[in-house]
Amino acid sequence: MKDVQNVRLPARTTAASQPKAEPRSAHPHENLDRASRAAVAYLSAGVSPNAFIQAWSDWALHLARAPGRQLELAERAQENMAKLMAQSLLPSTEGAPAFEPKPYDHRFRHPGWEKPPFRNLQQGFLAVQDWWDYATDHLRGLRPDDADRTRFMARQILDLWSPSNFPALNPEIIEATRKSQGKNLGEGARNFVHDFVNTFAQIHEPAPEGFQIGKDLACTPGEVVFRNDLFELIQYAPATAEVQAEPVLIVPAWIMKYYILDLSPHNSMVRYLVEQGFTVFMISWCNPTAEQAELSLEDYREHGVIAALDAVNAILPERKVHAVGYCLGGTILSIAAATMARDKDERLASISLMAAQVDFAEAGELLLFLDESQVAFLEDMMWEKGYLDRPQMARAFSAIRSEDLIYSRGVRRYWLGKEDLPTDMGVWVSDTTRMPARMHSEYLRGLFLENRLSAGRFAVAGRVIALKDIAVPIFAVGTETDHIAPWKSVYKTQLFTDGDMTFVLTSGGHNSGIVNEPGLERGHHRIAHRPAGALYVGPDAWLAKNAPQPGSWWPAWTTWLKEKSSGVVPPPGMGAPEKGLAPIMAAPGSYVHQT
């Protein structure tokens, strides 16, 4: 095997499943067009104006020729106005409010919102929000995508004009200003200038004290035992006298740093697995630069997942591997596993998919503005730099929950003058990465836009792969409030596979539901086993059939992994120096520090 410190990827790889990338030496006039569109993309946070115009036009035209619907909306407005007037006549302490904020909306939690005149402002805003939710509901003849897009955009506009955003209308800001004699506004101004400069200059701030990577976070002991241009492979040191014979290989998403699965010692999934007697390997992806713009989705499969599997097999020969994929890492693991099944490669003992999708027809609000125009818009923005930059990724995720992630945070930092309290999860969220232009384009087109994987049209090396070919046991996890990979979309893995499967639905969101360590008094999960060849059960029927169980799903998962293992053996050494896999450096390695 090659010296791991000198492994380099081919300059360019191809995959028959992917559309051919446009030549970078395009006609000068076309380059001018692309540069112009890229400039617009930066101003619009990467959202194509065509999506806005098309959605609003479709909604307005269908509403214009629906007089019955117009009468419904007029009646709804009258009903909401009547509720507001009736409520205004009652003392603020009597009766339940006519309109309630959404469960994830924390803007109106301060007690001052329960007193006049602020209660009237809050209820008026929520009444308008309720009307727009009703107005942008699906309408006969209106494309469902355009109805959802219109609702999303209406919500963004309303959130901007919420009374909670204005100092003179927000009782919490008024109270803080009075108590501090205006010091909160001075602190908020400093916070605003600091954030503005950092955003404009693209400054990546170091982690705060107590949250240092390698010391406080990502601190499970181990060694980097393999490295190429795409990833580092970490082998973690054993913590038990004996370990399960089959190792665990974790494939995280490359949209963020890997250490979401190795946060603080108390909530590190990696540490938990090691302490349960597993030999654990982790892929730590690089943070791509402009020079890596041509990295493809196939590169992430062949030179990522398969290269890591080859290294694990070299260290532990003749041992099958428990492969684990999180989020986007689960998608590429599914592609790799289906390819291995097609090619009679039997090195996997099991597959665990955590908040990972194989079908993208119901991919949540991230899919709202994804069409041919939007993908072309993003491609033009990436064409200029060679990657999708971190601010665009962060804004896309924040916009989905703008009430909390944008406006509540803005009020707290800029009007109340409060600093963000650092948390391990918060530090990880801010430690964003870039996406290579070619890979991101192939991912959006082949998976999100055309849904090739579940449709049986995704080819690897010129031959189509099928998820139903996967014969090894699967453990799939969805999270109840996931807005990135909705649990019903994750559940569809049951629809496209025929083998032995255990499905878990856990409380929490895309990250908090996965990082769900035992010992907490919060949270619950549902779990059920489907034997190979069993008939399909829909998600709603599955939910009704399986009652929630208190606590973390991690113990059930490790029990399942042990049942799929062949027994315990002495712990292996670190790496395999005789095969060119000598330890390179201590975990967490160097790629996790790339900015």
- As annotated, the active-site residues are 327
Residues 407, 338: Cα–Cα separation, whole Å: 43
Q: Are 278 and 248 in contact (CB under 8 A)?
A: yes
User: Collapsing DSSP states into helix, strand and coil, what is residue 505?
Assistant: strand
- Count other Cβ atoms within 10 Å, centred on residue 13: 16
- Give the pair of three-digit tokens for residue 119: 């209660």
Coil, strand or helix: which one is 525? strand
Please say whether the dihedral angle defined by the alpha carbons of residues 327, 328, 330 and 334, taken in this order, is positive or negative: positive
Spatial distance between the Cα atoms of 154 and 402, rounded to a whole number of angstroms = 12
State how far the Cα of 323 lies from the Cα of 262, in Å rounded to an integer. Answer: 17
SS3 for 373-404, per residue? HHHHHHHHHHHHHCEECHHHHHHHHHHHCHHH
Structure tokens at 114: 């329960």
Which stretches does DSSP call E strand in 215-365?
222-227, 231-236, 243-244, 248-251, 280-285, 321-326, 348-354
If phi over 0 gives left and psi between -120 and 50 gives alpha, with beta otherwise, what is residue 439? alpha
Distance CA 161, CA 169 (A): 11
- Count CB neighbours of 61 within 10 A: 12
8 A C-beta contact, residue 144 and residue 152:
no
Of 89, 119, 62, 48, give the one whose Cα is nearest residue 369.
48
CA distance 193 to 439: 35
Residue type, 485: A
**Contact residues for 287 (Cβ-Cβ < 8 A; gap 6+):** 433, 434, 591, 594, 595
In degrees and rounded to multiples of 5, residue 505 shows phi and psi of -115, 115
User: Chain centroid to CA 269: how far?
Assistant: 17
According to DSSP, the residues that pair with 213 across neighbouring strands are 217
Question: In this structure, what token pair is assigned to residue 429?
Answer: 């969220």
Q: Where are the alpha helices (DSSP H) in 344-468?
A: 372-385, 390-400, 402, 409-410, 424-430, 437-443, 452-455
Rounded Cα distance between 429 and 514, Å, is 14
Cis, bond preceding 550 (omega within 30 deg of 0)? no
Closest CA to 335 of 459, 227, 238, 193: 459
